[in-house]
Each structure stands twice: as structure tokens, then as C-alpha cells.
Structure 1
């Protein structure tokens, strides 16, 4: 008679159960670590964030004589490509006579300014070093309010610093800092010196370039703004390819018409945009647009939001013809306008 050994299957079953249990415990422990620590995204992203030091000459009057005084300003930047293109803010490098980049690995080198875009407060620099740790790019269109994020930069020049927070709001476009605004808002601590630094998600991917703070004291009060990475990459590509960002230009300023505004001014329409400024010799002036006109449609699209219209005009190439429908007094009109190239440092809305 052959006796069956029932012990072997039992032992195998116990060992398999033990292995599965250990694997589950390891996964849970890894998840707990990731939930309680930001060390992984920090290790991924910090090598790509650099400190920027600029030398700026200032004219001062001493004993009735004008003299030049040199000062050192500081900011942050992000290595965007392996071949050394760096994203930062325009105001970080504005009027700089020399720009020095300090990498996280201790290397220092001078940078060349490729171009800047004051309208979005972005700039692109170039350094020539090997083995550059370019940052992983995220997708700011997939960012949601409430997402946890990290801000990495060089606040007050004390050295690279990481702060944590969440996305507080998206699409902030009426802060009054730039001509074209589409800010991510965060409560992560952002201070002077963080400008141009990285806003990253918990994968260590870049989702924004830290740009500004809203503060009555000059320090962080939990309201910081960053340019979404999708917008920043568009600007960077344009600067690298053309040396500048070329935008369409109409040359008018307008505000949204509300029911209250329509009632107070006895306007013939309770919707659209009310023109309140026309730039001299601009396409809008040449087309006969006047202050007080109401703009109802541009290219057959209703004109309800001045910020959306601003972005629409900017997205079109100079030489493009647009169709505009408006009201003057009680008379409606339609006109075609050829857009021109937006002048440098143009601060008008469209």
C-alpha cells in the first residue's frame, strides 16, 4: 500500500500564504512611507533645480556725481533639457550684466540669455555642461485643485529649500502681475529667491514655474502663484526657435459687461465687452474702433471674458484677419481687422 504524504501540500500552502502576507505588508509599508514622506519626489526633482545669481549695475548719485553700483540678485531656475536650456522668470534676469548658475551638484557656470518674455515673466537661459539632470515634465492640464505639490527654490539665498502644499486654485488671470496670466495658485511657502523655481507633483514632475507671491509683508502668506508648465514650454519653444514670442496685437482694452454695469451706464446690451482704451496707431484704431463701443463677437465667437479674448488675439499670428461684431450707440456694425505684431513690452490687454 502506498501512503500519501499530506504534509508537503500543507507546508507549501503555509509558505505561499506567508510570502503573500509579507508582500502585502511590504506594499502597505511602502504606501505608508510615500504618504508620510516627500523624499522620493524630492530626490527626483531637486537635481534639476538651480540657483541663479545675477549682477546688476545701478546708477546712484553720490556727492552730486553719478556712479555705478553693482548688486547681486538671486533667484531660481529649472533645467528643462539635457542640452542645457533653463527656464526661469524674466524678472530674475532683468537688466543682468552677468548670470551665474549654481547646480545642485556643486558645479557653477555662466549662462547665456537666449531670450525673455516680459508678458508672461518667463526667460530662457543656456549653459554648456555635460551630464545635466533635466527635470521630468508633467502636464499642468491634468492638475486638480487639492493636489499635493512641492515648491523647490532658493528663498532668501539660504540654499535649496523644499516646501509642501496643495493646488489652491487654477486659472488665476486677474492678479495684475503679467499681461498674460493663467496662474496655478498654491499655499506652499514661496519667498523671494523662489522665483523661477520648480513646482512639482508627487512624482517629481514639473507642473509649474514659481513666479510670485501675494503678500502685504514681502514674505509668504500662503498665496503663491506659478506659471503652468504647459504655458511655460510653449514660451520656451518660441524663444529657442525665434528668440522671442511673436503674438497677434489688436491694441484695445475692454472690460466685461455685467447687468449692473449695463444698468448704470444705460448700455444697449447687457453682455459683451465695453471698450475703454484704444492704443494710438494700433490695428483697432486703424479699423475705427472707438472707446465706448461694445464688442459682441470676434471670429463668430461671443466675447464675454476679456482674458479669454486677450489670449485668443495673442495666439493668432500677425497678419491674420479677424472679424469683429460690435455696437456703437444703437447701431450694430461688423468690421475686419488685420492683426499686427505685438510691440515689445506691450502692456495693453490685447
Structure 2
């Protein structure tokens, strides 16, 4: 009995160190949750600090032609009336992102208007006169060029001081939105009103929640209604938009959506809601190869060229073998636009492709 007890004690004393060693080996050598959260926080803070300098406010003023009409009788007594309250004719139209150190700003098509005078306000609260380099209603994008000091407007000289011109503007490098995955952290930076008033853009962070979202047909992204009277006239009404919960509200249009490397992966839009999806979501134009080609053309002041077939389709109702084809896959031509490549090729409504 005594020998059995001694053997049991020896076995227990041998097992306990081995069990403790095994338990220690199973605990990974990883930072605790607080350290991991602090590291993510530092990354987000650093990215915002590096990229917010490149987010600007865009404003425009309607250009008024001098009147040649004789003054009305009421105008002759205008000096006798109490002066009306001053009205600021300048309208803040959106945010933008500096994409070239020479002063090229990427923004929304809706933020600019041909014939108006445009201005760009940076986070250091300097205001620069700007001209439209190029604008493309199909992509909903536009590029503004900030004017150098010799051609600056009176507003720029009054705001910044005579002869004061800051070139080599800070830019945000382009990223690749096609590399994003659901759940990846992104940061939104915008709010042109805050930039104009106190030089402090608003920032928000969240995750990518979906891809290829369609803007609703009634959402105006280019002031260009189609034949049906709706605004389904951009690429984004076909399903291009990034969906994210890093939302800044309706004032975010033209703001930057960046990844944790500080790369521009999207241009935030004013799309408030996509049918069938979460209302709190935000939507951004993705920076991918297609958008990069469009942006490159706009930076050069060129019109963006698009491929055109000139035909609309509907699902094929006639099996391919009946139509003389070797496959059941295909579509039926619904409409052929006169003068289009499809019309010149001889396509007609009812053809199966």
C-alpha cells in the first residue's frame, strides 16, 4: 500500500509540471487587447493628420454681367432707404482632394459650374482662385486648377496677402479600390463648411461594407437628366459605388476616402441611401483603373472618351438553337439608336446576340 502511494505521488509530481508547461505553450505571445486597440488608434490618428491637409473646400460665385438697362425709378431713391442686409454671393458647393502638387483638385461634377467663378480654400484657410480644368458628367468627376499668384483674384490677394503664393500643395497618393475587402478599415475626411470656417475638416472611420452599389435613379450626380427625366446618366447608376459606414453626412461630397496606408481609395458622394440597403451607409466613387484613366484625362484638360454600342438589350426569349445559334445564351436587341455603331453594323430590334 505504501509503495502504491509513493508511486501515485511521483506520478502527480511529474504530471503537474508537464500540464503547466502545456498550458503555458497554448497561450500565444500576443499584445493584449488594449495595446492592439491603441495601435489601431495611433494609425488612424496619424493617417488623418497626414491626409486632411489635402482635403479642401470648394465654393463658387455666379458671374454677373454689367447691366446696360436704364435704372428704374425706385433705384433713384435707393439712397433714402435703409440698407439691406449683406448677402454673401459665394456658395460652398463641396469638398475636393488635391491630387497634384501644382494645385489640381479632384471633386464632383456637381461642385463646379461653367461660367461661374470658383475658389478653393485649404486647411490653412488660404483661398485660391480656381478654374475648371475639365469635367465629365458620365463619371460625375471634375478637376479644378488653382491659379498661381500672378493671376490670382482680388479675393485671393486679400485673404493671403500680396505676393503670397504657396505652391507644391500636399497631395494624397492614389490607392486601388479593387484591393479592398469587406470589413477593411477606411477613413472619410470632408465637410467643406468646417474647412472654410476654421480650417478643420471632419473625419470619420469605419469599414467597407459592400461593393458595386447603384445610385438611385432619382439621385442627381451631374445635373444632366436623361430622356426619361431621371438622373440615371452616370456610371454610378449602373453599379460602381463603394458602400461604407464611415459616413460624414450630405456635406461629405467630394471628400476623401482613404485606407490605413493613407491612400485615396474613393471620392465620397452625397448619395444618401440606396434602396434595399442600410440608411446609415455612405457611398464613394472607387479609385480603380477605370476612374484613374478618367482622372488622368481630366488632369490633362481632355474630354473623356467612352465606348458606345448604341443599342439596348433584354433577356433573350428565343432559344439559341431556334435562332440558328449553337448556344442558348444570349440577349435580344431591344432598341438601336440611329447613327450608332450598332446601326452601322446592321443590327435591328429583335436580333439575338
**TM range, smaller chain:** 0.5 to 0.7
CA contact (8 A) 1:120 1:178 kept: no
Counterpart of 2:127 (choices 68, 85, 108) is 108
1:70 and 1:274, CA in 2 relative to 1: closer, same or farther beyond 3 A? farther
- Helix, strand or coil for the counterpart of 1:284? helix
1:325 alignment partner in structure 2:
none
1:116 and 1:33, CA in 2 relative to 1: closer, same or farther beyond 3 A? same
Runs of 4 or more above 6 Å deviation: 24-30
The 2-side partners of 1:162 and 1:134 are apart by 17
1:48 and 1:26, CA in 2 relative to 1: closer, same or farther beyond 3 A? farther
Deviation at 1:72, TM superposition (A): 1.6
Q: Indicate the structure with greater strand content.
A: 1
1:161 alignment partner in structure 2:
202
The 2-side partners of 1:194 and 1:140 are apart by 19
Q: Where does the alignment leave 5 or more consecutive residues of structure 2 unmatched? A: 1-28, 65-87, 149-165, 196-200, 218-231
Is 1:253 aligned with 2:308? Answer: no
Is 1:34 aligned with 2:89? Answer: no
1:51 and 1:30, CA in 2 relative to 1: closer, same or farther beyond 3 A? farther
CA RMSD of aligned residues (A): 3.3
In the TM superposition, 1:265-276 aligns within 5 A as: 271-276=329-334
- Helix, strand or coil for the counterpart of 1:87? strand
2:6 alignment partner in structure 1:
none
- Aligned residue pairs total 254
CA contact (8 A) 1:54 1:96 kept: no
1:214 and 1:112, CA in 2 relative to 1: closer, same or farther beyond 3 A? same
2:243 alignment partner in structure 1:
185
Q: What do residues 209-245 of structure 1 show as CA deviations (whole Å, max 9, x unaligned)?
A: 11232339xxx93232211122332212112335211
Deviation at 1:133, TM superposition (A): 0.7
The 2-side partners of 1:277 and 1:35 are apart by 53
CA contact (8 A) 1:77 1:86 kept: yes
2:182 alignment partner in structure 1:
145
Counterpart of 2:303 (choices 223, 244, 256) is 244
For CA contacts below 8 A with separation 6 or more, give which structure has more relative contact order: 2
- Helix, strand or coil for the counterpart of 1:237? helix
- Helix, strand or coil for the counterpart of 1:34? helix
Counterpart of 2:116 (choices 82, 97, 100) is 97
Is 1:132 aligned with 2:169? Answer: yes
TM-score when scaled to structure 1? Answer: 0.63
Q: What do residues 247-293 of structure 1 show as CA deviations (whole Å, max 9, x unaligned)?
A: 222211224x2xxx738xxx967532332222222221222222232
1:31 and 1:178, CA in 2 relative to 1: closer, same or farther beyond 3 A? farther
Q: What do residues 125-155 of structure 1 show as CA deviations (whole Å, max 9, x unaligned)?
A: 1114413111132221211111111111116
Q: Where does the alignment leave 5 or more consecutive residues of structure 1 unmatched? A: 1-23, 59-68, 296-350
Deviation at 1:25, TM superposition (A): 10
- Helix, strand or coil for the counterpart of 1:250? coil
1:30 and 1:211, CA in 2 relative to 1: closer, same or farther beyond 3 A? same
CA contact (8 A) 2:63 2:117 kept: no
CA contact (8 A) 2:96 2:105 kept: yes
CA contact (8 A) 2:120 2:128 kept: yes
